[in-house]
Amino acid sequence: MTPKTRSPIWHPFTQHALHDEMTRVVRGDGAYLHTADGRRIVDSISSWWVVTHGHCHPHIVSAIQNQAGKLNQIIFAGYTHDPAEEVAALLLKVAPPGLDYVFFSDSGSASVEVALKMALGYWHNIGKQRIRLVVMQHSYHGDTVGAMSVGARGVFNAAYGSLLFDVTSIPFPTRGHEQATLDALESACRNEIPAAFIVEPLILGVGGMLMYPAWVLREMKRICEASDVLFIADEVMTGWGRTGTLFACEQANVTPDIACYSKGLTGGALPLAVTLCRADIFDAHYSKDRTRTFFHSSSYTANPVACAAAKANLDLWQDPESRQRVASVATMQEQAIEPFRADPRFANVRRTGTITALDLKTKDAGYLAGVGPKLQAFFKDRNLLLRPLGNTIYVMPPYCVTGADLDEIYVGIRDAADALA
């Protein structure tokens, strides 16, 4: 039975039977969150991977304040504004070369829906029957119906199976078995003549921080290109320095046909997303009779205040210091996980760029493993914001994190293993 005194708020990805006590946060500052009861929490996962430069970065805050007093919302069909134009121009400068157009939306899931609709719209509008999508096993692309359909089937979407469309899934490239992945992709491209292949480059996030090398990404792009299959890179998590470069695709020297960015796009200050595409995908939606219009929008598309935050984020990336911080977080993270490689209580101790992950050896594994909520509670008591994916503990800090913060985080992880392994 639901307790009568509980808050009326229904929280996301939260089992209220286990977590009815929410931590009330009143202030964010750099890598820290300050709670109503006076505690300081180290935000070890950048508040769901969004807060790249730290909470309340002064440059982003002041950009938001300035824009909010000037123009805070405007219909984006038939109208435009400076913050959106500036963000689009800057994005095309930093994104892989060959991406020419920018479509705005407001969440990672929406940017994926837009990508799928762009891909299918492209084939439809040029008069070819290509409707099938190829995906990678264990992927996660968001919680809307299209995004769920291209994501892994499992506990997250078991209730909604009848809403989801059928896709072709290729295996995740585990070490030593990369060729099986590439062969499966090649055969799907040859036999099914799909519209597109969608993938999280270098790291599958929600699926368990599963990492694979850049050469596999490069090969997957080559295979798609050879069969005219559109290559969609979902960089919602991997973008904005997480993998060590601004975007993960850079490491494979890959230009996707369509790319999705969100999360760190505003430095984690406001919701915004973009889907970038090649000119010919835009051109296929260009017709005087309006039939080829890209029929997608949301009321707040390219909200000017969110765009001002994104512009401020892009300013910060122009400063070499941002990239230096990424490099130094990557180095500190490597040093921090090193001792865990020899710790028999952990398996698969791994890192790509600024992200580390390690699997605590437990009897049960997977997202619903009982150890997940226990770990979360343990870390909460330690004033650490960590949200393991089942028995997989990962650290994805804001780039302003210090060595002392990381010490606190990894001592917490070691102590959690002492208490729970």
Residues making up the binding site for substrate = 48, 140, 263, 297, 387
Segment contacting ligand PMP (CB under 6 A): 16-24, 38-46, 138-146, 212-220?
Answer: 138-146
The closest of 345, 359, 266 to 304, measured between CA atoms, is 266
Q: Provide the minimum distance between the beta carbon of 232 and ligand PMP in the complex, in angstroms, as a whole number.
A: 11
With both helix axes pointing from N to C terminus, report the angle between 58-68 and 304-318 in degrees, rounded to the nearest 10: 150
Helix (H, G, I), strand (E, B) or coil at 352: strand
**CB-CB contact of 376 with 392 (8 Å):** no
The sign of the dihedral angle between the CA atoms of 406, 412, 416, 417 is: positive
Residue number of the CB closest to ligand PMP reads 108
Number of residues that bind ligand PMP (CB under 6 A): 14
Residues in 141-170 at the binding interface with ligand PMP, rule: CB under 6 A: 141-142
User: Residues 187-226 vs ligand PMP: string with x where CB under 6 A?
Assistant: -------------x----xx--------------------
| Paired tokens of 386 | 């960590």
Nearer to ligand PMP, 270 or 384 (CB): 270
Please work out, in degrees rounded to the nearest 5, the angle formed at the alpha carbon of residue 10 by the alpha carbons of 9 and 11.
105
Write down the least CB distance from residue 131 to ligand PMP, Å. Answer: 22
CB environment 17-48: b (16+ within 10 A), e (fewer): eeeeeeeebeebebbbbeeeeeeebbbbbbbe
| Composition of the chain by helix, strand, coil, percent to 5 | 40, 15, 45
Residues annotated within a binding site for pyridoxal 5'-phosphate: 108-109, 234, 298-299
Q: Kindly state the helix (H) or strand (E) to which residue 358 belongs, with its residue range.
A: strand 355-360
For ligand PMP, the closer of residues 268 and 382 by Cβ is 268
Q: Does 245 bind ligand PMP (CB under 6 A)?
A: no
Q: Two tokens at 393?
A: 């503990």
Quick note: the x/- pattern for ligand PMP over 92-131, rule CB under 6 A, is: ---------------xxx--x-------------------
Q: Phi, psi at residue 276, to the nearest 5°? A: -100, 150
By beta-carbon proximity to ligand PMP, the closer residue of 238 and 391 is: 238
Task: Give binding residues as ranges.
Answer: 48, 108-109, 140, 234, 263, 297-299, 387
State in angstroms the smallest separation of the CB of 206 from ligand PMP.
Answer: 5
Residue 217's nearest CA partner among 191, 177, 253, 260 is 253
Q: How far is the CB of 120 from ligand PMP (least distance, A)?
A: 18
Task: Single out the segment in contact with ligand PMP by CB under 6 A; choices: 61-69, 139-147, 175-183, 219-227.
Answer: 139-147
In the complex, which residues of this chain contact ligand PMP (CB under 6 A)? 107-109, 112, 140-142, 200, 205-206, 234, 236-237, 262
